[in-house]
């Protein structure tokens, strides 16, 4: 059987554990040469440890694949650019980037520290930009390449206690769409994936109430290996016409998410005043308002 990523060079950030690890393993199994990036920090980003990335590289080599470890942080521009340099130094080219690295610093909004907000933004949103920006020049010159960025239903729909994470993940959607628009002329693609999977990061979700415990038990059914095949597809040549999209993966389901478009409008020939908006405009629009839903309110069925 033909391998979908034969001889392609792929960077996977945050590849030492969880979803990133499974993506790296699948890419290597599909014939790619993989840069396994992970500084090895805790779920909140603290500390560093070379072992997670090194262990994934060893696993890939044991299975007959090709990989190299990188331990740089995506949260600063120069270290992030060194991840891309690792790919070109070791393998001479770059064909795909998976922006998977992430941390969590959950806290109800009025108690969230500035540091907790900025730290999450730097890893998720700025990190996705830094790595993508460094790779973009290579993709532009060779007129090919694929970005896979990770978003979340925390941003797409909503969740409690994750203003930092939700802001970063929705920002990534805008980043991905802009890359798709700006670089489409160079045959460069950019898509988002919203994963549902039990990982070390999801393990930080509170489980104090019976409802929270039940929710986490359902999430535990969804292994990170279920996310990898879609990412492998998006990195391959068979996805050459797929760009600017937002996908979700939940066990054996793949979703295509909607994107923001106008759904209703009101108009007055004489223009609006605050009073006429209150009397006419807003009552006319209210029937189409979105509720303050959380992800669990929308995905109400068990994983299949």
Which of the residues are catalytic? Answer: 165
Q: Phi-psi bin for 253: left (phi > 0), alpha (psi -120 to 50), beta?
A: beta
Please, what is the angle between helix 163-183 and helix 114-121, to 10°?
30
Three-state SS for 198-231 is: CCCCHHHCCCCCHHHHHHHHHHHCCCHHHCHHHH
Hey, is 192 helix, strand or coil? Answer: strand
pLDDT in tens, 256-270: 999 999 999 999 999
Does residue 174 fall inside a structural domain? yes
| Residue written as token pair 């900025």 | 118
pLDDT in tens, 135-147: 999 999 999 999 9
Residue-wise burial string across 139-170, b where 16 or more C-beta atoms lie within 10 A, e elsewhere? bbeeebbbbbbbbbbbbbbbbebbbbbbbbbb
Residue 226 has pLDDT above 70, yes or no: yes
CATH number of the domain encompassing residue 242: 3.40.50.720
Does residue 282 fall inside a structural domain? no
Confidence bin at 210 (pLDDT 50/70/90): confident
Contact 176, 155 (CB under 8 A): no
pLDDT in tens, 32-44: 999 999 998 888 7
| Beta-bridge partners for 147 | 97, 190
* pLDDT value at residue 200: 53
Contact 234, 149 (CB under 8 A): no
Say which residues have a Cβ less than 8 Å from residue 196's Cβ, sequence separation at least 6. 153, 219, 222, 248, 249, 250, 251, 299, 303
* pLDDT value at residue 206: 58
Does residue 268 fall inside a structural domain? no
Query: What sign does the CA torsion over 208, 205, 16, 28 have?
Result: positive
* pLDDT value at residue 163: 98
pLDDT in tens, 184-209: 999 999 999 999 976 555 555 556 77
Query: pLDDT higher for 104 or 208?
Result: 104
Sheet holding 9-13, edge to edge: 66-70, 33-37, 9-13, 96-99, 145-150, 188-196, 246-250, 253-256
Confidence bin at 302 (pLDDT 50/70/90): confident
Residue 5: what are its φ and ψ, rounded to 5°? -125, 30
Does residue 295 fall inside a structural domain? no
25, 124, 127, 169 from 175: Cα distances, Å: 26, 11, 11, 10
* Residue 126: HSE in the Cβ half-sphere, 13 Å Cα cutoff: 17
Identify the domain containing residue 149 by its residue range: 9-256
Q: What is the average pLDDT value for the chain, to the nearest integer?
A: 94
Task: Read off the tokens for 137.
Answer: 């020049």
pLDDT in tens, 24-82: 999 999 999 999 999 988 887 878 889 999 999 999 999 999 999 999 999 999 999 99
* pLDDT value at residue 204: 54
Hey, is 268 helix, strand or coil? Answer: coil
Residue 190: what are its φ and ψ, rounded to 5°? -150, 125
Confidence bin at 178 (pLDDT 50/70/90): very high
| Beta-bridge partners for 189 | 146
Does residue 293 fall inside a structural domain? no
* pLDDT value at residue 202: 56
Going through 88-219 in order, the beta strands assigned E by DSSP cover 96-99, 145-150, 188-196
Does residue 304 fall inside a structural domain? no
Into how many domains does the chain fold?
1
């Amino acid at each position: 059987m033909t391998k979908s990523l034969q001889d392609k060079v792929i960077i996977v950030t945050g590849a030492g554990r969880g979803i990133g690890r499974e993506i790296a393993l699948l890419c290597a199994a599909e014939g790619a040469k993989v840069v396994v990036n992970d500084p090895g920090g805790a779920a909140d980003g603290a500390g560093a440890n070379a072992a997670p990335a090194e262990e994934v590289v060893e696993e890939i080599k044991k299975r007959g694949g090709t990989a190299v470890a990188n331990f740089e942080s995506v949260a600063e521009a120069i270290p992030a650019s060194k991840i891309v340099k690792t790919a070109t130094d070791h393998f001479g080219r770059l064909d795909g980037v998976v922006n998977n690295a992430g941390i969590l610093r959950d806290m109800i909004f009025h108690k969230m520290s500035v540091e907790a907000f900025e730290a999450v933004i730097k890893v998720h949103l700025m990190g996705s930009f830094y790595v993508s920006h460094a790779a973009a020049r290579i993709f532009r010159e060779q007129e090919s390449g694929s970005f896979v960025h990770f978003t979340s239903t925390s941003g797409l729909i909503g969740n409690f206690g994750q203003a930092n994470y939700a802001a970063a993940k929705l920002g990534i959607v805008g980043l991905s769409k802009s890359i798709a628009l700006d670089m489409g002329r160079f045959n460069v693609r950019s898509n988002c994936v919203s994963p549902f999977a039990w990982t070390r990061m999801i393990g930080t979700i509170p489980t104090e109430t019976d409802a929270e415990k039940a929710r986490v038990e359902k999430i535990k059914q969804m292994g990170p290996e279920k996310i990898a095949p879609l990412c492998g597809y998006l990195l391959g040549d068979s996805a050459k016409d797929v760009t600017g999209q937002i996908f979700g993966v939940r066990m054996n389901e793949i979703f295509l998410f909607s994107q923001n478009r106008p759904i209703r409008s009101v108009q007055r020939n004489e223009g609006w005043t605050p009073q006429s908006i209150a009397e006419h405009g807003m009552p006319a629009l209210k029937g189409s308002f979105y509720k303050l839903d959380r992800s669990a309110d929308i995905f109400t069925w068990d994983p299949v």
